[in-house]
Structure 1
Amino acid sequence: MFTDISIERLIDEKKNMTLIDVRSPSEYKDFTIPGSLNIPIFSDAERAEVGTIYKQVGPEAAEERGLEIFSAKLPDFIKAFKQIEGDKTVFCWRGGMRSRTAATVLDLMKIPVHRLDGGIRSYRNWVVDQLDALDFIPKAYILNGNTGTGKTIILRKLEQEGYPVLDFERMANHRGSIFGQIGLEPHNQKTFDALLVEKLHVTQDFPYVFFEGESKRIGRVLLPEPFYNVKENGTQIFIEMPMEERVKNILDDYRPWEFKEECMEAFRRIKSRIHTPIATEIQNALQNEEFSLAVRLLLEYYYDPRYQYSTAQYFKGNKITISVQNVEEAIEEIKKLVVHKKKINKLICN
């Protein structure tokens, strides 16, 4: 017989389990437990059909139709599970019929499996509770700088080297600007929150953490208040980099030649905020695929002035400025700052 496990046990043992979301593909895409696989009992169309029967005829008829649909898929369903090694836990929305049916069938086929009690709803409640209880954030090093200084690239390279990093833009799947969703599919708040809580558990034992000085909103999501507030108490690192390098970083990241229509649509949303002759020049550059020129003009006449204004308004305290030629130099300078801070703290403690 399969066993139900609580959300608390799941969190404790998650690293050693394979989680399988048996909900429909669209439900899985909307929100799932990070790292889960999707082996659905119903397709989106089948789920809609069963739901319609439930409303119009009744639960018994819906259950019969659901079993009929699922029976035809059993060989492939079981085969997919047999290919997964180790402990397995299935879940649906509330820990109801779909996960119970899946677990029962797998148990009959001698495939050991657990079922998450309360389904993904219990996981979502756990995530919300974790964020509500968040009252401590480690000392923060906050990366700031004009658009194109490679702050996200720097964070990701630091993370690859083992430094504790909270990459909010990766969690949001959005770059944080009006052009930020180009080539991406932004996450919703539920997915962002789950990824954030998962990452907090990874970085909780470090005495500090790196993140970018973001605004409260990143694409479709809002940054939790504690992270926005901690910016005032963290070490603010401002990165200065030559315009040519910034333009190169943006072109490498956004690849506007692959997303010409999306770039033009995003530009139209800010066009009215730019002085008319310059706006026309930017539009012509985009249309003529002169992307380096378009990016430079956007930086000079839109992003840089806005950034300078916000910096003057919100960063009036102590800050560290590093002037570098490229991302590689910035990473080395930032690592020196961390080492320097450690030495000072050691001297003070001794």
Structure 2
Amino acid sequence: MIFFFYELDLQYMKDTFFLRLERLIDMFQDMALDELQTKAEQGKISIIDVRSPSEYEDSRIPGSVNIPVFDDEERKEVGTIYKQESPKAARERGIEIFSAKLPDFIKQVKDLKGEKVVYCWRGGMRSKAAATVVDLAGTPVYRLNGGYRTYRNWVVETLENFDMKPRAFVLNGYTGTGKTEILQQLKSEGYPVLDLEGMANHRGSIFGQVGRRPHNQKTFDSLLLQELVNYQDREYVLMEGESKRIGKAVLPDFLMNKKEKGVQFYIELPREERIRVILDEYQPWNYPEQCLEAFNKIKKRIHTPVAKEIEEALKTGDYKTAVDRLLDYYYDPRYLHSITQYAEDHIIPIKAESVEDATKQIKQLLAEMNVVQ
């Protein structure tokens, strides 16, 4: 009988604990998305994504750090309990899991600079619990109202109605003319650059994902919108003459229209310099299997004897020969077809001996056009 009442007492204390914690969870402040964005621009805030690592990897608010309440397996376990038992049982199991992580979790949040704001998928129990325990430990923390879902909805709606103000200067040229390298150098010097391939984490070609893990559309959209907002008051932006799709990402129509109506720089480099640029960028010797896999997707489009020569060069590590043949029989013919969409009087030719020379000429042209850096 005593044991029976002891069990009842334990259950009562447990129920009371969870009830009090749930009440506490509602006693902190939310932060609206627009306020978070303003403070993030000012560098006054640390944004903390408390979702699982796989959720964070799939998509996130740019600049956020991942300090998960649950790892992927724990999240799956709690979700299963929620569906098969009850929401109450899932909450209890979730608190049990999270309680073991509290000292390290609180320390990680406390060590971040500035004000702190946490978010989960929709501003639910994970961000509520995280905000509560950190706040109780003496570190004030906010929760993003509506969570990541609110942010994602804002991204989609904003891109659908975006009115891009700056005019576009577009870098065109055969594969290997260093367009990405030029843009990265200009951006490092403070020029307004939309590095679309960097946002997609893909080079925009059949070999574009060699050595990389391409971003999905959600990640691309977030990175793109962040840059567009930053440059909205600038006179112009520089970008590469990309196609509609870059890897897994699709460019919005307004950006394609802006690109097509922009000033078109056409870069020409010597063949040897182009091959050097490609080899430096792709480093195929580090990814031989990925290179062969990519080539297998296009070899039927190339004359059979040449395709066999390219394949053999890739297999034996003769990458210079492989690149040379790919330029002649695949990339250059395709690019020549695409550039014909622009009238000659809309193209500014840049004949250079190196990427550095081309960069210098572009800077001179921008200065001559009296555009502000």
TM range (shorter): over 0.9
| Structure 2 equivalent of residue 348 of structure 1 | none
Q: Is residue 5 of structure 1 aligned with residue 31 of structure 2?
A: yes
| Structure 1 equivalent of residue 59 of structure 2 | 31
CA, structure 1 residues 75+44, in 2 after alignment: closer, same or farther (shift >3 Å)? same
| Structure 2 equivalent of residue 100 of structure 1 | 128
Matches within 5 A, 1:51-66: 51-66=79-94
1:78 & 1:315 partners in 2: Cα distance?
60
What fraction of aligned residue pairs are identical, expressed as a percent?
58
| Structure 1 equivalent of residue 284 of structure 2 | 256
Say which is worse superposed, 307-316 or 290-299, in terms of deviation. Answer: 307-316
Say which is worse superposed, 129-138 or 11-20, in terms of deviation. Answer: 129-138
3-state SS of the aligned residue for 1:231? helix
1:120 & 1:157 partners in 2: Cα distance?
33
State the one-letter code of the partner of 1:116: L
| Structure 1 equivalent of residue 363 of structure 2 | 335
Q: State the TM-score, normalizing by the size of structure 1.
A: 0.96
3-state SS of the aligned residue for 2:346? coil
User: How far did residue 280 of structure 1 move?
Assistant: 0.5
| Structure 2 equivalent of residue 19 of structure 1 | 47
1:188 & 1:232 partners in 2: Cα distance?
24
- Please say if residues 137 and 230 of structure 1, whose CA atoms lie closer than 8 Å, have aligned partners that are also in contact: no
| Structure 1 equivalent of residue 187 of structure 2 | 159
| Structure 1 equivalent of residue 303 of structure 2 | 275
3-state SS of the aligned residue for 2:172? strand
- Please say if residues 165 and 233 of structure 2, whose CA atoms lie closer than 8 Å, have aligned partners that are also in contact: no
State the one-letter code of the partner of 2:133: V
User: How far did residue 317 of structure 1 move?
Assistant: 5.0
- Please say if residues 267 and 349 of structure 2, whose CA atoms lie closer than 8 Å, have aligned partners that are also in contact: yes
- The count of aligned residue pairs is 344
Q: Is residue 46 of structure 1 aligned with residue 79 of structure 2?
A: no
Matches within 5 A, 1:1-350: 1-14=27-40, 15-315=43-343, 318-342=346-370
- Return the index of the structure with the highest Cα Rg: 2
1:106 & 1:269 partners in 2: Cα distance?
51
3-state SS of the aligned residue for 2:298? helix
2:249 & 2:358 partners in 1: Cα distance?
28
User: How far did residue 213 of structure 1 move?
Assistant: 0.4
3-state SS of the aligned residue for 1:41? coil
Aligned alpha-carbon RMSD (Å): 1.3
1:194 & 1:153 partners in 2: Cα distance?
23
User: How far did residue 128 of structure 1 move?
Assistant: 1.4
1:177 & 1:190 partners in 2: Cα distance?
20
Q: State the TM-score, normalizing by the size of structure 2.
A: 0.90
1:165 & 1:210 partners in 2: Cα distance?
5
State the one-letter code of the partner of 1:3: Q
State the one-letter code of the partner of 1:181: Q
1:223 & 1:85 partners in 2: Cα distance?
34
- Please say if residues 22 and 99 of structure 1, whose CA atoms lie closer than 8 Å, have aligned partners that are also in contact: yes
Provide, for residues 88-143 of structure 1, a one-character-per-residue CA deviation record: whole Å limited to 9, x for no partner. Answer: 10000000100000001011101111100000111111111221221234111100
2:151 & 2:317 partners in 1: Cα distance?
47
User: How far did residue 313 of structure 1 move?
Assistant: 3.7
